[in-house]
Amino acid sequence: MTAHNASEAAGSPDGASDDDALPPVIPISHGPESETEEVPWIDRAKTFLIGKPRDLGDHALFESLSLVAFLAWVGLGADGLSSSCYGPSEAFHHLGSHAPLAVFLSLATVATVFIISACYGHIIEEFPSGGGGYLVASKLLGRQAGLTSGCALMVDYVLTVTVSIAAAGDALFGFFGTDWHWLGFDAVEWKLAAEAGAILFLIILNLRGVKESVMALVPIFLIFLVTHAIMIAGSVFMDIGETGQVVATVATEVRTSIADPQIGLWGMMALLLHAYSLGAGTYTGIEAVSNSMAVMREPRVATGKRTMVYMAISLSLTAGGLMLAYLLLKIQFSPDKTMNHALTEVFIGRLGLGDSAFGTGFIIVTMLSEGALLVVAAQAGFIDGPRVLANMARDSWVPHWFANLSERLATHNGIVLMGLAALVALLLTRGHVSTLVIMYSINVFITFSLSMLGMCAFWWQRRQTSELWKKRLALFSFGAFLCCLILTITVVEKFETGGWITLAVTGACFGVCELIQRYYQKVSKKLRLLDQTLADLPIVGEPNLSEPREDQPTAVVMVGGYGGLGIHTIYHALSVWRGYYKNLIFVSVGVVDSGNFKGASEVEELRKHTETNLNKYVELGQKLGMASAAFMSVGTDVVEELEHVCLEVRKQFPNAVFFAGQLVFQRETWYQRLLHNRTAYSLERRLHWAGCPIMILPNRVQ
């Protein structure tokens, strides 16, 4: 059994043995690299792009990496705030010639933002460890609902990146128009190339770590807020003296629509509902905070709820204000530029600054900040998407290595997958924002609906124990009604124009995840039989309590959690040359992954758990008549940590031979290679290069 099994290494610690005869487990940690040691160019390039490895021994590390409410608002709230760049315009556009009804649409949008935000604020209270819609649905509605929510979130966060980058391209390339060519490529091709480059840039930025990626984008976020606040407030105050006329126009539109036999009251309500539902992109991103509670500064619940308040206020005022500004300044939809671009130009023109340098500069800064904020909003996909994958990996819905962390303590496998999937979605849709928003909104509201329904069930179950149950149940019931209504209308209205694609992709993800978990369950069942056979195997004889001698033949066995696989590897190793080895050394690595990277206390708990397992192996080795000891390390890169520990052991025991276990199958398939690690083979190459003998012992799975 290899020493890197994250599910075993990071599980709940067992009671440690108090046997004073057990030698202490020797911790080995990386020291600073020697200045004279030559570093390969590829490692130097990696350090330049991504940064140096984090020091897990630094107790201030977790606080330095966590986000206060303001930074969380920037990194996670930007997704919600940026939706004001396309959600309100999409809703306003579908009012057609009935633009005065935008007043009601604006009020409905503001109310919906606050209702959904309030619901997610209470979800944070009940699920402070994070997990968002996936955890809520899994815990409260069952595994199938949880898987549905998880798959919807996976696709959602891929589309978060794609929609944000595509909308940023539209905002920025709107300055240049669409009818031009350069170097043999047209405007759309140049826009797609720039958007693909932005996604690649964000992959690298996020591999450096969450806080670095957020800090770099704070100025963009603030410029967007200032410029759009000026534009919205200015648009309202310019027409403040004509409030009576605006009210009269709205009243006339209502009376005319009701009196029109082709529309009527119900037709007008249907039109409003249609536009309201197609502006569902406005509400995307609200769930991001509940998914990323792990990156919040302590106290996490207070920080998360404060972030939700910031997000609700900024999004509601921006989205509702933009709709009102469209109405007051009579903005019309144009395929050549975004409605926000048109609004900015009309606003500057109304101020009489259209031909001035200040007016031109304001337009440029506003649109650049809008495009840049959309790039910032893609951060939510890179922050939350990998975390959803990590949560699902721990539940065996996706390959377990999606829970791994890099040296920079980033969920690097998920980041790369999100980025590459976003690139594919961008190229397949040619960056068409309207199509992407439809696909995006459907999955967002699948998760919203399941979360609201789950919380309804939660508060109904607590009706006998909590005085708040009626208020909470009423809030979540209304939230569930709104979310299910928007989801249903969006699917029905846009099924043939892109809705079916997102449902098909989400359904395909669901099927693949089901197959993956069934496979893992099948393998786990067989491994449990091995545990039952070997874990409690009786051993007769006096234990050997002597310390290992450095000059004697030594078998070094890499192990993980105490169980049948590790014991099988030990017996197999000792049977290679029976009676030859006098020392038995155990090596293990406590793997820091996204499940236990929540603070210094969790890492210390992992260290103790790894020591507990090693003590059990040392006790077993002593009972087998071998002088035994143990060495360990804690880190994120299993192969690198094992290599470092093994080389240190080799210095102390020059006659050591290393043994590593590896699961093998009678007919290994491509998906088995994908779902199981290859740590033993990677370590074999490294130790062979260092001149250390190593044998890989098979643990057969029938």
Model pLDDT for residues 600-642, shown as the tens digit of each residue? 567 778 888 888 888 888 988 888 888 999 998 887 667 778 8
Instruction: Identify whether the C-beta of residue 585 lies closer than 8 Å to the C-beta of residue 629.
Output: yes
To the nearest whole number, what is the mean pLDDT of the chain? 78
Which region among 57-61, 337-341, 522-526, 655-659 has the lowest average model confidence (pLDDT)? 57-61
Query: Which CB contacts under 8 angstroms, 24+ apart, belong to 424-430?
Result: 425/158, 425/159, 425/162, 426/162, 426/165, 426/166, 426/192, 426/195, 426/196, 426/199, 427/192, 427/196, 429/162, 429/166, 430/188, 430/192
**Residue 538, domain member (yes or no):** no
Q: In the predicted model, is pLDDT for residue 369 greater than 70? A: yes
Q: Is 460 within the bounds of a domain?
A: yes
CA distances from 487 to 81, 277, 312, 440, 491 (A): 21, 8, 21, 11, 6
**Are residues 562 and 632 located together in one domain of the fold?**
yes
Is the predicted pLDDT of residue 152 greater than 80, yes or no? yes
The DSSP code sequence of 371-382 is HHHHHHHHHHHH
Are residues 400 and 361 part of one domain? yes
Report, in this order, helix, strand and coil percent for the chain, each rounded to 5: 65, 10, 25
The CATH number linked to 652 is: 3.40.50.620
From 503, 518, 533, give the residue that closes a domain.
518
Q: How far apart are CA 366 and CA 55, in angstroms?
A: 40
Say if residue 492's pLDDT is above 80.
Answer: yes
Q: What local confidence, expressed as pLDDT, does residue 511 receive? A: 93
**One domain for residues 488 and 441:** yes
Residues 389, 250 share a domain:
yes
Q: Are residues 644 and 509 in the same domain?
A: no
Query: In sequence order, what DSSP letters do the residues of 621-677 get, joined into one string?
Result: HHHTT-EEEEEEEEES-HHHHHHHHHHHHHHH-TTEEEEEEEEEETT--HHHHHHS-
Helix (H, G, I), strand (E, B) or coil at 527: helix
Residue span of the structural domain in which 373 resides: 65-518
Question: Are residues 181 and 232 located together in one domain of the fold?
Answer: yes
Is 317 a member of any domain? yes
What is the token pair recorded at 666? 């009678």
CATH number at residue 228: 1.20.1740.10
Give the whole-angstrom CA distance, residue 224 versus residue 45: 34
90 and 13 together in one domain? no
pLDDT at site 542: 76
Rg (CA), the chain: 29
Do the Cβ atoms of 391 and 291 come closer than 8 Å?
Answer: no
Say how far apart CA 293 and CA 131 lie, in whole Å: 8
The per-residue pLDDT for 450 is 92
Based on the domain organization, do 426 and 506 belong to the same domain?
Answer: yes
User: Does residue 429 lie within any of the structural domains?
Assistant: yes
Band (pLDDT 50/70/90 cuts) for residue 489 is: confident
For every residue of 589-627, which 3-state class applies, written as one string?
Answer: EEECECCCCCCHHHHHHHHHHHHHHHHHHHHHHHHCCCE
In a domain, 668, yes or no: yes
316 with 248, same domain? yes
Q: What is the mean pLDDT of residues 337-359?
A: 85
Are 505 and 464 within one domain? yes
Is residue 59 domain-resident? Answer: no
Give the whole-angstrom CA distance, residue 162 versus residue 502: 13
* 8 A C-beta contact, residue 379 and residue 214: yes
Please check whether residues 581 and 506 belong to one and the same domain. no
pLDDT tens-digit map of 392-431: 888 888 887 777 665 544 567 788 888 888 888 888 887 7
The CA distance from 88 to 93, in Å, is: 8
Residues 512 and 623 in one domain: no
* Residue 65 pLDDT exceeds 60: no
Categorize the per-residue pLDDT at 253 as very low, low, confident or very high, splitting at 50, 70 and 90: confident
Q: How confident is the model at residue 120 (pLDDT cuts 50, 70, 90)?
A: confident
Residue range 381-395: mean pLDDT, rounded: 81
State the Cα–Cα distance between residues 597 and 591, nearest whole angstrom: 10
Residue 213 pLDDT? 52
Q: Above 50 in pLDDT, residue 60?
A: no
Give yes or no for residue 12 having a pLDDT over 60: no
With CA atoms as reference, report the closest residue to 431 among 173, 190, 162, 154. 162
Where among 484, 518, 552 does a domain terminate? 518
| Of the residues 483, 518, 553, the one at which a domain ends | 518
Q: Is the omega angle on the peptide bond into residue 299 within 30 degrees of 0, that is, cis? A: yes
Query: For 360-383, what is the mean pLDDT?
Result: 80
In the chain, pLDDT over 90 holds for what percent of residues? 8
Average pLDDT over residues 325-339: 81
What's the structural domain count of the chain? 2
Residue 554's pLDDT is what? 92
User: Which is higher by pLDDT, 177 or 598?
Assistant: 177
For the ranges 25-34, 286-295, 651-660, the lowest mean pLDDT is seen at 25-34
Quick check: is 91 in a domain?
A: yes
Decide if 351 contacts 558 (C-beta within 8 A): no
Mean pLDDT on 502-512: 91
| Assigned domain for 526 exists | no
Q: Which residue has 């951060």 as its token pair?
A: 379
Question: 203 falls in which pLDDT band (50, 70, 90)?
Answer: confident
Q: Which helix or strand (DSSP H or E) is residue 195 part of?
A: helix 187-207
